Structure 1
């Protein structure tokens, strides 16, 4: 019976791929669970990106098979993402792939999460400033070009490394994120910030200081 279920679902996935569908669909995984998988076109983009990064060795066919799942989970693990094998907004963002249907709301949510994790307890303008630094990095050629890519860049943010990024943001963090997205930049274009009381990187002190807000020093 289980074998028949696997064959049936695999057939549906294959048929969907042949039809060039663009909606999400379901797949049966190794743990005998049905999981949601991205569209065929999105899977192709993911496979190509993972192939370019050295994670994926299979063909770029848009089918979410075991090789794709293994590549996704390895990428998630290396980039500090939740390791579930699902191609969600955060994983797409870290790969630099735009999933426009949910991009706007997921960007606001993720930015609010990072602001809350990194700057809760700071004055409101300081929370907006942290969001602005993230957005400034998105626009800089020196960093990934998505909010998720910037936030989950390895070792970029302490809150990602220690898991505080998983805390739910409060209303203040949401408002600060929205203000930053609306263009408010209290840092005047800064790409870095640090707390001199806790910073351990010698390199960060080499950056030109622009402004201090609360406990954070903002620099370029």
Structure 2
């Protein structure tokens, strides 16, 4: 090996170290992207946004301030959540499918749900379980999805959340308006995990906090598990 070749190789390796290693090979939509992310998918996002007129800086695969700014400008234009994070809503607005929202069985669940449905579910999870553990948040999201799959309830997320049965609104946040408060990063991740097939509720269709519930029907339902302050029931 020539001395010149060794010197070139050394320079390349040093450059990779200074850049924080090689860029991750990922398909756009396969993961949520945010400030600090690196990879082929970041480069694809930059290329896509630049092509739409939302400047993200050079296409270098590094999610820096310019890329974050381009994402924010795109979110403003599309009137979706403005957080500078390329997640389900942003990918939905870009018409990019998300492999990470596929069920673990390999069938596409994501295609059944719009970005607005996922945001609505994340807002419900925050209103119902914002003070609970992350596991508890995933469990609450799973109960809604379990209802969607059940013949006893509407077959859409929106239909389940806004269902009125016997004159009774199913979820307190819908009744008191807290459903309209924005979701956060934790509840959005919890929804994604539930969509992926995670169900800490063990097949539950409902949940309640025993300190605040006196409803005879829900208290009579068979328990599946208890997570934090919530009892999960079928």
TM-score by length of 1: 0.53
**Structure-2 separation of matches of 1:211 and 1:156:** 20
- The answer for the alignment partner of 1:61 in structure 2 is none
Q: Give the direction of change, closer, same or farther, for the CA distance of 1:110–1:206 in structure 2 (3 Å limit).
A: same
Aligned length: 121
* Deviation per residue, 1:160-213 (Å, 9 max, x gap): 100000000111010001111111000111101000000121111110011000
After superposition, the CA RMSD in angstroms is 1.7
Aligned to 2:144: 134
Task: Name the SS for the 1:218 alignment partner.
Answer: strand
Gaps of 5+ in 2: 1-109
Residue 153 of structure 2 aligns to a residue in which SS?
coil
Identify which of 209, 212, 216 aligns with 2:230: 216
Output the CA distance in 1 between the equivalents of 2:220 and 2:153.
19
- Superposition map of 1:99-178 within 5 A: 103-154=113-164, 155-178=169-192
Quickly say closer, same or farther: Cα 1:211–1:101, change in 2 above 3 A: closer
Residues 186, 120 of structure 1: CA spacing in aligned structure 2 closer, same or farther, 3 A cutoff? same
Moved over 6 A (4+): none
1:107 Cα deviation from its structure 2 partner: 1.9
- Ranges in structure 1 where 5+ consecutive residues have no aligned partner: 1-99
SS in 1 for 2:114: helix
Q: Deviations over 1:56-110 (max 9, x none)?
A: xxxxxxxxxxxxxxxxxxxxxxxxxxxxxxxxxxxxxxxxxxxx99942122111
Q: Structure 1 residues 185 and 103, CA, compared in 2 at 3 Å: closer, same or farther?
A: closer
CA distance in 2, matches of 1:163, 1:135: 21
Query: Partners in 2 of 1:209 and 1:102 — Cα distance?
Result: 29
2:120 and 2:227 map into 1 onto residues whose CA distance is 22
